[in-house]
A and B are shown apart, each in its own frame.
Chain A
Amino acid sequence: MILKLLSGDRPGSVLLSLILLAILVALAGAPFLFDGTRALDTAARICVFIVLVASYDLLLGYTGIVSFAHTIFFGFGAYGVALSALHLGRGFDALIVGAGAGALAAAALAAVIGLFSLRVRAIFFAMITLAVASAVAVLVSQLSALTGGEDGLTYLIPKALTAAARYGEIPTVTLPWPGADPLTLGGQRITGKIVNYYVIFSGALILILFLLRVVNSPFGRVLQAIRENDFRAEAIGYRVVSYRIAVTVLSAVVASLAGALFAIWLRYVGPDTVLSFEIMIDILLMVVIGGMGTIYGAVIGAVVLLLAQNYLKDLMETAAAGLGDIPLAADLLNPDRWLLWLGVLFVLSVYFFPAGIVGRLRRSRT
């Protein structure tokens, strides 16, 4: 049954299965397992980025297409939800219309870029996506009447999804625990924010299961054949250009849906949160660190990088405080240098796991 949901795609290593299971449990129980809004916000971001990175993996890892326009499609979904929430009112219908319109726009733009550039060499496609990404970013900041420019857009989402909605409390359960304190579970208030989180979580879960299905379908196998040897894929009768355009469109649609989820969660969209080139770099890092062409790599890459971005600073603060007496060490671990350490971690991970974390774990099995 589980294997069927995963489309027969076994994680392929006991350790990897355990890690994935731990991530699933942590994300599924995030509102109740971790305290505070920051933890919940990180969990929601992880859900969104897992989908965004996995949709990019479909392009880069499975088909071997390098694109720099992935954030644009992410942005289309996010702005679609933002604009329809602003203009159509505070209802669920507005969210659905916005997500649908964003996905359609993303599909149309991806198809146009693909038709114009995928016939020629791969490097040309990469350059075109770079140009389109810059152009869209400039357009969004210039068309401030529509998009709010650099300030972005703030809008209302249905009240049922905000912290203002109350759905009661989880009854407190006290478990006898061998030791001094009994273990107390529950007691949290269930608010619309938590419902909102589960909308994001289930949306992400469905999209990931969908992507797993796609990569294990006959269509997905053709993508891998194109990555391996596009010349031969064409020679055995696959119209390579059509497949490349189709996967570009599919990946753009999934990215836009991730953007729509992000917009529902944040209640704000702006160029820096959904369109910036930094996000594009993050996506690339996540897919490389996790392991290309595996989908599971996207899951792990997104978790590792987002946790590092959100908590490495705190960790270093604690460490620096602990090392307070030693001059150089404490200085090196100064929280202001967290980006430096993130860089070091990235270099080390690429050096030691060239096939990504998932690639490494799968290989160690044999």
Chain B
Amino acid sequence: MAEMVLETRDLTVRFGGHVAVNGVSTGFRRGELTAIVGPNGAGKTTFFNLISGQIAATRGRVLLGGADISRKSAADRTRLGIGRGFQMTNLFPDLSVYENVRLAVQAQQRKGGRILRLAEADDKMRDRTVAVLDRVQMGPEAAKPVSTLSHGDQRKLEVAMLIALDPAIYMFDEPTAGMSPDDAPVVLDLIAALAQDRRKCILLVEHKMDVIGALADRIIVLHNGTLVADGDPAAVMASDIVQEAYMGRRRADV
């Protein structure tokens, strides 16, 4: 079995009296796609925020390749190879699609400090940006301001920005939420293609069980901030705790 590239040890965060993530210790391997499931409010997104550095842990540690990164900023964790996607679309609204991706490419190529060169004159950045846009089939939309895009295209762009960062660890937070049945397969195919690349470690928060069944190598279940199940997809999905959690959620949704 491949080594753990990303580990959490007793990871905990408390907001006032509410413990959103409670003592989660687990690890993620290269070449493995792990789905993180659980009902709304289970702490999945908060767990993501702790790993990618948007919020600081009250207790516990995050290890990347064995090194403690718990005190690093979100920017530094991204530079170390953790690519984080967001559930709520979180882009640069008044800039063009091209510029959004180019900014991610520029970050990945570490060129943000260049002050006397022209951003547009850099062939290496342009080629990579065009390649990423082609990969999500958004070439024709390149010049549009992001604020004019449909929701589905914004979600695709969100994925494009992650790909542009070329991280070792991909973190997708409900990448197909609210997407039309036409658009969703484009994103899911991209994730499947990334999963084929056995050097990448992929974390996926997702609600749709068919998506998880098709993509995941492993499932972990969070419930009230605690890790309650971990293992092979078929076994976890059949377990009592998942049946209870998901049946409960489904009933509430209807």
* A interface residue numbers (CB < 8 A to B): 7-8, 213-214, 216-222, 224-225, 228-229, 231-240, 243, 250
Complex Cα distance A8/B106, Å? 19
Complex Cα distance A243/B115, Å? 11
In the assembled complex, B17 has its CB within 8 A of some CB on chain A: no
Number of residues from B at the complex interface, CB < 8 A: 38
Which single member of A220, A239, A240 contacts B119 (CB below 8 Å)?
A220
| Contact status B107-A217, CB under 8 Å | no
Interface residues of B in 63-117 (CB under 8 A from A): 73-76, 78-79, 84, 86, 90-95, 99, 102-104, 106-108, 111-117
* Residue-wise interface mask of B (141-155) relative to A, using a CB-CB cutoff of 8 A (1 in contact, 0 not): 000000000000000
Which single member of B107, B115, B117 contacts A236 (CB below 8 Å)?
B107
Nearest 3 A-B pairs (CB), nearest first? A237-B78, A228-B92, A237-B107
| Contact status A217-B78, CB under 8 Å | no
| Contact status A218-B52, CB under 8 Å | no
Of B90, B102, B103, B161, most buried by chain A (CB within 10 Å of CB) is B103
* B interface residue numbers (CB < 8 A to A): 52, 54, 73-76, 78-79, 84, 86, 90-95, 99, 102-104, 106-108, 111-122, 125, 161, 165
- Taking A216-B119, A221-B99, A229-B91 as known contacts, 6 extra A-B pairs with beta carbons closer than 8 A to each other, sorted by chain A number, are A213-B116, A229-B90, A235-B75, A236-B78, A238-B107, A239-B75
| Contact status B112-A238, CB under 8 Å | yes
| Contact status B161-A236, CB under 8 Å | yes
| Contact status A235-B54, CB under 8 Å | yes
CB proximity of B163 to chain A, nearest CB, Å? 12
Q: B residues within 8 A CB of A229? A: 90-93
| Contact status B95-A224, CB under 8 Å | yes
CB proximity of A24 to chain B, nearest CB, Å? 22
22 CB-based A-B contacts, threshold 8 Å: A8-B118, A213-B115, A214-B116, A218-B112, A218-B113, A218-B115, A219-B112, A222-B103, A224-B95, A225-B92, A225-B95, A228-B95, A229-B93, A231-B54, A232-B91, A234-B74, A235-B74, A237-B75, A237-B107, A237-B165, A240-B75, A243-B112
Complex Cα distance A51/B117, Å? 21
Q: B residues within 8 A CB of A238? A: 75, 107, 112
Complex Cα distance A232/B125, Å? 19
Q: Which chain B residue lies CB-closest to A4?
A: B118
Complex Cα distance A232/B74, Å? 10
Q: B residues within 8 A CB of A218? A: 106, 111-115, 117, 119, 122, 125
* Number of A-B residue pairs with CB-CB distance less than 8 Å in the complex they form: 95
CB proximity of A133 to chain B, nearest CB, Å? 27
CB proximity of B91 to chain A, nearest CB, Å? 7
| Contact status A239-B107, CB under 8 Å | no
Q: B residues within 8 A CB of A237? A: 75, 78-79, 107-108, 165
| Contact status A221-B119, CB under 8 Å | yes
Complex Cα distance A224/B54, Å? 21
CB proximity of A135 to chain B, nearest CB, Å? 31
Q: Which chain A residue lies CB-closest to B84?
A: A235
Q: Which chain A residue lies CB-closest to B77?
A: A237
Q: Given A229-B91, A235-B78, A236-B78, is A214 in contact with B115 using a C-beta cutoff of 8 Å?
A: yes
CB proximity of B130 to chain A, nearest CB, Å? 17
Q: Which chain A residue lies CB-closest to B165?
A: A236
Of A222, A228, A234, A235, most buried by chain B (CB within 10 Å of CB) is A235
Q: B residues within 8 A CB of A250? A: 115
Of B102, B104, B115, most buried by chain A (CB within 10 Å of CB) is B115
Complex Cα distance A234/B91, Å? 12
Q: Which chain A residue lies CB-closest to B92?
A: A228
Complex Cα distance A222/B110, Å? 11
Complex Cα distance A239/B73, Å? 8
| Contact status B107-A7, CB under 8 Å | no
CB proximity of A234 to chain B, nearest CB, Å? 5
Q: Given A224-B95, A228-B92, is A217 in contact with B119 using a C-beta cutoff of 8 Å?
A: yes
Q: A residues within 8 A CB of B121? A: 8
Which single member of B91, B113, B161 contacts A219 (CB below 8 Å)?
B113
Which single member of B52, B102, B114, B125 contacts A235 (CB below 8 Å)?
B52
Complex Cα distance A238/B104, Å? 9
Q: B residues within 8 A CB of A243? A: 112
Q: Given A232-B91, A232-B92, A237-B78, is A225 in contact with B103 using a C-beta cutoff of 8 Å?
A: yes
Q: B residues within 8 A CB of A219? A: 112-115
Complex Cα distance A11/B75, Å? 34
| Contact status A217-B103, CB under 8 Å | no
Complex Cα distance A228/B96, Å? 12
Q: B residues within 8 A CB of A214? A: 115-116
| Contact status B117-A217, CB under 8 Å | yes
| Contact status A232-B73, CB under 8 Å | no
Q: B residues within 8 A CB of A234? A: 73-75
| Contact status B106-A222, CB under 8 Å | yes
| Contact status A228-B94, CB under 8 Å | yes
Q: A residues within 8 A CB of B120? A: 8, 216
Complex Cα distance A269/B91, Å? 46
Q: A residues within 8 A CB of B119? A: 216-218, 220-221
CB proximity of A119 to chain B, nearest CB, Å? 11
CB proximity of B23 to chain A, nearest CB, Å? 26
Q: B residues within 8 A CB of A217? A: 114-119
Complex Cα distance A225/B179, Å? 25
Q: Which chain A residue lies CB-closest to B93?
A: A228
